[in-house]
Amino acid sequence: MQNQFNIRTLFTPSLTTMSGNIVNKTKGDRVIWAVIILLTVASLLLVYSSTGSLAYRMNKSNESYLFKQFAFIMLGLIVIYWSHRVNYTVYSRIALILFLISIPLLIYTLFFGVQLNAGSRWIKLPVINMTFQTSDLAKLALFMYMSRMLSRKQEVIKDLRKGFLPIIIPVIIICGLIAPANLSTAILIAGTSFILMFIGRIRTKHLLVTAGFAVIPVIILVSISVAYYDKEKKDTAELPAILSAGRIPTWISRVQTYVYGSKGVDGEKTYQINQAKIAIAKGGLLGKGPGNSEQRNFLPHSYSDFIYAIIIEEYGLIGGAIMIFIYLLFLYRCIKVYRKCPYAFGAFLALALSFTLVIQAMVNMSVNVNLFPNTGVTLPLVSMGGSSFLFTCLSIGIILSVARNVEQLEGNAATVSSQKPLTTQQSEEPA
């Protein structure tokens, strides 16, 4: 009996030890970790449900996209884990380097990147044959650099030349290089930057003047869209050569479609949003149930840009409301990390990254319900994976790195407090 071999004794202790080590080394806000798990599980279910038509068109099995998404999620969780183990002060040291690297990458993408709808957003990585959206790196680098500058210039932050200009110029450079190919992302970055600068105590009048100049191109675009709309043909009138360059016709068309509707009875220009509306209407309050979506067969990009419409169709308005609550809960916990962090760089960085992720989520959901024009942004941690998914995971890992530091500081403070002599009241309390 003593020599009897039991295979369970061979694996169980090691597996238990390994899982225990991972749990012990996983630090930071537990609620944020729970949000990550919830969103990634939802991503698996939704991507598997919404890629049926894509699999048919590409002559692939639906399971292949499920396994691909599972691989991206596993890789993303590894990115979150290792980035949250890194001391967040390291990101301050590499902020300037990443910022300087992102500028030539954006320029290269603008002129030599992969073309889609008259815009260049991606560069193809050799060997692995994967496209990489350089604006994701630039966005991360910019917020690192802004957080660093805001933390270092608090003494002169009210000064125009010493405080405001060194921070706003990098924002203008990055947004200016992203806007020609991806206007929506540039606007999201600019909006988040303004929120961060406001919280960083930059003078309100400096921000208002800058915002006024930033609004001028938007007003011009809307005015041109209205002026060059043919109401009889219900289409864009002939544009002059200066307005036919790059993605300007696409911007004009999207504004016109949002304001006036589509061309013809079939709604060719609003096909996506019309199908999204149908999906939302079919979902009702409780939804049709997991995997029972019908509009996934008609809705383009139901696995990425319009995945929120599939959420409502399958899980109802209640499921859509729960999804909004999850993102708001994530933002609330990140704000708590910001308030508890005693160091300015970590606080600003956690706030900037959380705001950009939640704003992106809200914009995506607003587009799906036709509150905003089509922007092409994905739902963070839910839409089908790609380079954007991995950069989202990296951003969350950095937030958790700041949370881990806050957790350690609170633990150290509690240890010091426990080592102090007990008061009479404390000594009488039961152990």
For 393-411, the pLDDT digits (tens) are 999 999 999 999 988 887 6
Task: Identify the pLDDT of residue 10.
Answer: 41
Distance CA 169, CA 73 (A): 36
Is the Cβ–Cβ distance between 79 and 151 less than 8 Å? no
For 290-349, the pLDDT digits (tens) are 988 888 888 888 888 899 999 999 999 999 999 999 999 999 999 999 999 989 999 999
Task: Identify the pLDDT of residue 165.
Answer: 94
Distance CA 222, CA 11 (A): 65
Within-domain flag for 138: no
Task: Identify the pLDDT of residue 23.
Answer: 58
Within-domain flag for 227: no
Mean pLDDT, residues 127-135 taken together? 78
How many Cβ atoms from other residues are within 10 Å of residue 30's Cβ? Answer: 12
- Sign of the CA dihedral running 287, 290, 295, 299: positive
Is the Cβ–Cβ distance between 409 and 331 less than 8 Å? no
Whether residue 247 has pLDDT greater than 50: yes
Whether residue 373 has pLDDT greater than 90: no
For 148-160, the pLDDT digits (tens) are 999 999 999 999 9
Is the Cβ–Cβ distance between 299 and 314 less than 8 Å? no
Using pLDDT thresholds of 50, 70 and 90, give the confidence band for residue 430.
Answer: very low
Whether residue 116 has pLDDT greater than 90: no
Whether residue 176 has pLDDT greater than 60: yes
Task: Identify the pLDDT of residue 429.
Answer: 36
Within-domain flag for 260: no
Task: Identify the pLDDT of residue 64.
Answer: 87
Beta strands in 156-275 (DSSP E): 229-230, 235-236
352: nearest Cα among 77, 208, 139, 182: 139
65 or 1, which is more confident: 65
Distance CA 349, CA 345 (A): 6
Task: Identify the pLDDT of residue 253.
Answer: 84
For 13-65, the pLDDT digits (tens) are 444 454 455 556 677 789 999 999 999 999 999 999 888 878 777 778 878 88
Distance CA 23, CA 412 (A): 20
Q: Which domain holds residue 281?
A: 35-85+275-339+379-406
CA angle 292, 297, 298 (to 5 degrees): 125
Token pair of 219 as six digits: 């007003």
Token pair of 113 as six digits: 């990147």
Q: What percentage of the chain exceeds 70 in pLDDT?
A: 85
Torsion angle defined by CA atoms of residues 124, 127, 128 and 131, in that order, rounded to the nearest 10 degrees: 0
Question: For the residues of 86-142, what is the DSSP string, one character each?
Answer: S-THHHHHHHHHHHHHHHHHHHHHHHHSEEETTEEEEEEETTTTEEEEHHHHHHHHH
394: nearest Cα among 185, 140, 212: 140
Within-domain flag for 210: no
Mean pLDDT, residues 215-229 taken together? 90
Residue type, 185: T
Most confident by average pLDDT, 9-13, 161-165, 267-271, 369-373: 161-165
Prediction pTM value: 0.86
Distance CA 134, CA 429 (A): 58
Within-domain flag for 45: yes
CA angle 64, 70, 75 (to 5 degrees): 130
Residue type, 199: I
Whether residue 426 has pLDDT greater than 50: no
- Mean per-residue pLDDT over the chain, rounded: 84
Within-domain flag for 149: no
102 or 265, which is more confident: 102
Token pair of 392 as six digits: 């989202």
For 276-289, the pLDDT digits (tens) are 999 999 999 999 99
Q: What percentage of the chain exceeds 90 in pLDDT?
A: 54
List residues bridging with 152 in a β-sheet.
Answer: none
Q: How many domains does the chain have?
A: 1
Task: Identify the pLDDT of residue 54.
Answer: 80
Within-domain flag for 50: yes
Distance CA 178, CA 138 (A): 9
Task: Identify the pLDDT of residue 260.
Answer: 79
Within-domain flag for 235: no
Is the Cβ–Cβ distance between 331 and 358 less than 8 Å? yes
Whether residue 117 has pLDDT greater than 60: no
Whether residue 8 has pLDDT greater than 50: no
Between the two ends of the chain, the Cα-to-Cα distance in Å is 45
Distances (CA, A) of 306 to 115, 274, 295, 303, 388: 22, 11, 11, 7, 16
Mean pLDDT, residues 261-281 taken together? 74
For 64-90, the pLDDT digits (tens) are 888 989 999 999 999 999 999 999 999
